[in-house]
Structure 1
Amino acid sequence: MLLKQFFIEKIAHSSYLIGGNTTCAIIDPSRDIDRYLEAAEAEGLKITHILETHLHADFVSGHMDLAEETGAAIYAPAAGQCTFPHVPLSDGDTFRIEDMEFLVLETPGHTPDCLVYVVTDTSRGDTPVAAFTGDTLFVGDVGRPDLFPGKAQDLAGKLYENLHTKVMTLAPECLVFPAHGAGSLCGKAMGAMRFSTIGYENTYNPALNSADTEEFIRSLTVNMPPAPDHFARCSDINRRGPASVRNLPPLKAMKPAEFYERMNDSDTIVVSIRNYATFGGQHIPGSYHIDMGGNFATFAGWVLPPDKEILLVTDSPEQAHEAAIQLRRVGLDRTTGYLKGGTHAWVTAGYTTDHIHQLSPSEVHAKIQDPKTVLLDVRSKDEYESQHIPGAINIMAMDLRTRAGELDADRPTIAICRTGHRSSLACSLLKQQGFSDVYNAAGGITGYIAAGYFPE
């Protein structure tokens, strides 16, 4: 049995190749499928099976592209009611890939359609060797059940039952391979290890050590991290079958005049992905800023309108193409162009730019001594409550799309986050809504503390 893990940073997504001597399966593939094709070819394997553990909410899956490229059959939960050709799977179903026997466990909880694939290598023995747990069981955590309005309590109860009566009854030495790791928002507090064992999780996973069902349900339905907007879209995209990447519009390098003409279409938005200091120095008025140095795909899926055409401002063509890949991962398929030559070409052609002053920690400290200045902490509620600068107002960056009206647009406003990435996004959202006297706290609260300004 051959096993390879593929990990995508930022969205913290794990997918897998599991194979025998001549054939293999890909489990929970991402949309950029070249990694699987190259890995299979390098091992001399033919991809014959594509296995989905559930309809993923946090990313658009590559099952359709991979099936189109390889001719492999897609295996997916029957409960997902997928509308593309597939082999529907239910509890107790089995199938084989060479000497490997796959047993299907239905484990609704994170979503109503979750599956776990339990694999036995019959050439070695009759005890399951691996469980591909999707978003049911993570290292140090379990899948969040609160993504479906009005169903959190019921799903959490089902998750408790399925974990304790099915998954955790597997042999202690059975390896656990989840679909996500630390950094994903599909759970509450995942560990950094990318695989585990049933025995280790039974002993050390806090969620599995809840005293009873009620405590388990409460822990997964109270004070959960907010879910990004694209979580509500991606499951349905995956159910219908995503558009083929090869059929999406190509990314075009646009000279300033063409870029200017296209950006003025009401169906189009401009997104700068350069670092926040560069964006602050000079950017196209009205543009979104999502720093590629931060959690780019997640923040883009969270705040960018999915029905708009996207034009990028980047540091290089290579960065533009990487951004397009990451945007497709969260279902933003209409990325059609980027500014050739960047903002240097833009201003050389005579077009207008805007600015956001970047404040050092000492400048932030000096400026907030003026009672007219608003210090806006744009981190999550939990981060804010853990530690914040006295007097700061807490509105999460992504919520400024709807909550900016709670602030006075005429007062100087400093946005601050942990390091400066989210706060720059916040500044761009405020500027779009008429705030003119806006500042970004470069280095965030991390820099502020390091400079010695945080109260003892």
Structure 2
Amino acid sequence: MTPSTVITVETPSLGDRSYLVHDGEVAFVVDPQRDIDRMLAAAADAGVRITHVFETHVHNDYVTGGHALAHAVDATYSLNADDDVTFDHHGVHDGDVITVGTMDVTVLATPGHTFTHLAYAVSPAGAGLEAATAVLTGGSLLFGATGRPDLLGPEHTDTLVRSQHASVHRLADLLPDAATVHPTHGFGSFCSATQSDATSSTIGDERLRNPALTQDEDDWVEAILAGLNAWPAYYAHMAPANSSGPAAPDLTLPERADAEELRRRLADGEWVVDLRNRTAFAAEHAPGTFNFGIEGPFATYLGWIITWGTPLTLLGESVEQVAQAQRELVRIGIDRPAAHATGTPAEFTTDGVTGSYPTATFADLADVLHHRDVVVVDVRNRNEFAEAHIDGAVNVPLPELVQRAGEIPAGQAWVHCAAGYRAAAAASILAAAGLDVVAVDDSFDSAREVGLVR
């Protein structure tokens, strides 16, 4: 009996994983990302043929590649039969068993993240659930956590959180301890109710450490609901896109813009985004441009903040950097940037005049506060601010900053977040608005160490 092999295709920038599961000859895929070439390459490297594509749910955090992948390889595309979608697919139900090569895939209803959420247990053909070797859990059972239950709106949250608890217990009751757990979310994704540092797990591990399986239901529900925070605004566009069967993306480079076109686009209120790292941007940049470094959670925060449909131009040090940004963006439904340019900041301007602003540490901020008044701008989310903050800091979460930049008090603005990435984006936004800024590029733990947080 050939054992199944689970190959993980990671998307760290969105905190998600997709899976290719095969028996050495044929394979199925679960929750593929939009850029399907990665999954096709994984199948080619394994020497297997994809015959089935499964979705655990209609995703809220990214545009699926399932529809496009199934068409590309002529595979059966399966979703919950109760999902409201507009394209042809194979509708599956709780308890269905689909044989893929020498593997049985058992469909398990696991509502909670959504009402129609499914998990897929993998067993040797004919062996039954008691012999399951793996389970693909989507946004239900995560590593030491669960998927969040509030993405469908507050009117459904109470029902879904109880359903999530029951679903996790159902998986633990049905499956053997040795079955490996393979969630889609849980690696920094905002679809997770809580986060864990674990990188792998089994049903047995989860029985011992997952609060949903170790705590009283009411206590767990109370803790989950109390810990929920904001999610990216672009999520509102993901389910509609996924319900209509998104096609494969166009990853060819957009047109190249010269300095005069960049000037015009900025004057028209379009977004021109510099992809370089935050240190390089602070040292020199084209005035009016925003910094969302490609090395961090680029698509998450850009997609969260930009007004949907605003023309977007990408500035990179290289074509490869722009191409990476395009790949990130198509995953959240921003399919075609308006233009791109590569080169140095001076080449992005018509007069060669560039801008800059200082960077600093929390120790620098502590020293400055002893000598003069500055404005401390904390761009972390409200729950982070409520947990601990610098006395007198103004809290404007990064996703609200474009609309609320006018609320920043007069004076030099020292902008910080938890680790530096959001502060860099915020500093670039405020600098473009004409404010005198200093970007604090430091860990918030350092603020505690120098006595700024008590």
Please say whether Structure 1 and Structure 2 have the same fold, judged by a TM-score greater than 0.5: yes
For 1:419, the equivalent position in structure 2 comes to 419
Measure, in 2, the Cα distance between the counterparts of 1:403 and 1:346.
Answer: 27
For 2:379, the equivalent position in structure 1 comes to 378
Q: How does 1:399-438 map to 2 (within 5 A)?
A: 399-408=400-409, 410-432=410-432, 434-438=433-437
Q: What's the offset of the Cα at 1:41?
A: 1.8
> Does the 8 A contact of 2:172 with 2:207 survive in 1?
no
Does 2:165 match 1:160? Answer: yes
Q: What's the offset of the Cα at 1:166?
A: 4.6
Q: What's the offset of the Cα at 1:375?
A: 0.6
> Does the 8 A contact of 2:137 with 2:182 survive in 1?
yes
Q: How does 1:166-245 map to 2 (within 5 A)?
A: 166-212=171-217, 214-245=218-249
For 2:260, the equivalent position in structure 1 comes to 257
Task: Give secondary structure in 1 for the equivalent of 2:64.
Answer: coil
Measure, in 1, the Cα distance between the counterparts of 2:262 and 2:394.
Answer: 37
For 1:85, the equivalent position in structure 2 comes to 88
Q: What's the offset of the Cα at 1:363?
A: 3.8
**In 2 relative to 1, CA 133–310 (structure 1 residues): closer, same or farther, beyond 3 Å?**
same
Measure, in 2, the Cα distance between the counterparts of 1:419 and 1:159.
Answer: 32
Point out the more displaced range, 268-277 or 321-330: 268-277
Q: What's the offset of the Cα at 1:123?
A: 7.1
Task: Give secondary structure in 2 for the equivalent of 1:187.
Answer: coil
Aligned residues: 449
For 2:336, the equivalent position in structure 1 comes to 334
Q: What's the offset of the Cα at 1:153?
A: 0.7
Q: Which amino acid aligns with 2:148?
A: R
> Does the 8 A contact of 1:313 with 1:342 survive in 2?
no
> Does the 8 A contact of 1:33 with 1:62 survive in 2?
yes
Q: What's the offset of the Cα at 1:181?
A: 3.3
CA RMSD of aligned residues (A): 2.4
For 1:62, the equivalent position in structure 2 comes to 65
Measure, in 2, the Cα distance between the counterparts of 1:76 and 1:397.
Answer: 36
Q: How does 1:382-393 map to 2 (within 5 A)?
A: 382-393=383-394
**In 2 relative to 1, CA 240–428 (structure 1 residues): closer, same or farther, beyond 3 Å?**
same
- Could you list the per-position Cα deviations for residues 252-280 of structure 1 after superposition, in whole angstroms to 9, with x for gaps in the alignment? 333323333444445x3211121222222
Q: Which amino acid aligns with 1:337?
A: A
Q: Which amino acid aligns with 1:74?
A: Y
> Does the 8 A contact of 1:249 with 1:336 survive in 2?
no
> Does the 8 A contact of 2:286 with 2:346 survive in 1?
no
For 1:47, the equivalent position in structure 2 comes to 50
**In 2 relative to 1, CA 407–37 (structure 1 residues): closer, same or farther, beyond 3 Å?**
same
Measure, in 2, the Cα distance between the counterparts of 1:216 and 1:447.
Answer: 32
Identity %: 30
Uncovered stretches (5+) of structure 2, i.e. residues with no partner: none
> Does the 8 A contact of 2:61 with 2:332 survive in 1?
yes
Measure, in 2, the Cα distance between the counterparts of 1:449 and 1:31.
Answer: 41
TM-score, normalising length: structure 2 = 0.91
Measure, in 2, the Cα distance between the counterparts of 1:184 and 1:260.
Answer: 35
**In 2 relative to 1, CA 78–286 (structure 1 residues): closer, same or farther, beyond 3 Å?**
farther
Task: Give secondary structure in 2 for the equivalent of 1:252.
Answer: coil
Task: Give secondary structure in 2 for the equivalent of 1:253.
Answer: coil
Q: Which amino acid aligns with 1:141?
A: A
- Could you list the per-position Cα deviations for residues 307-363 of structure 1 after superposition, in whole angstroms to 9, with x for gaps in the alignment? 12210122221111101111111221132422232313124x415544333234454
Q: What's the offset of the Cα at 1:25?
A: 0.8
> Does the 8 A contact of 2:265 with 2:272 survive in 1?
no
- Could you list the per-position Cα deviations for residues 240-263 of structure 1 after superposition, in whole angstroms to 9, with x for gaps in the alignment? 1224313x6632333323333444
Measure, in 2, the Cα distance between the counterparts of 1:327 and 1:291.
Answer: 13
> Does the 8 A contact of 1:20 with 1:98 survive in 2?
yes
- Could you list the per-position Cα deviations for residues 222-257 of structure 1 after superposition, in whole angstroms to 9, with x for gaps in the alignment? 2313211122221221111224313x6632333323
Uncovered stretches (5+) of structure 1, i.e. residues with no partner: none
> Does the 8 A contact of 1:48 with 1:70 survive in 2?
yes
For 1:301, the equivalent position in structure 2 comes to 303
Measure, in 2, the Cα distance between the counterparts of 1:155 and 1:445.
Answer: 34
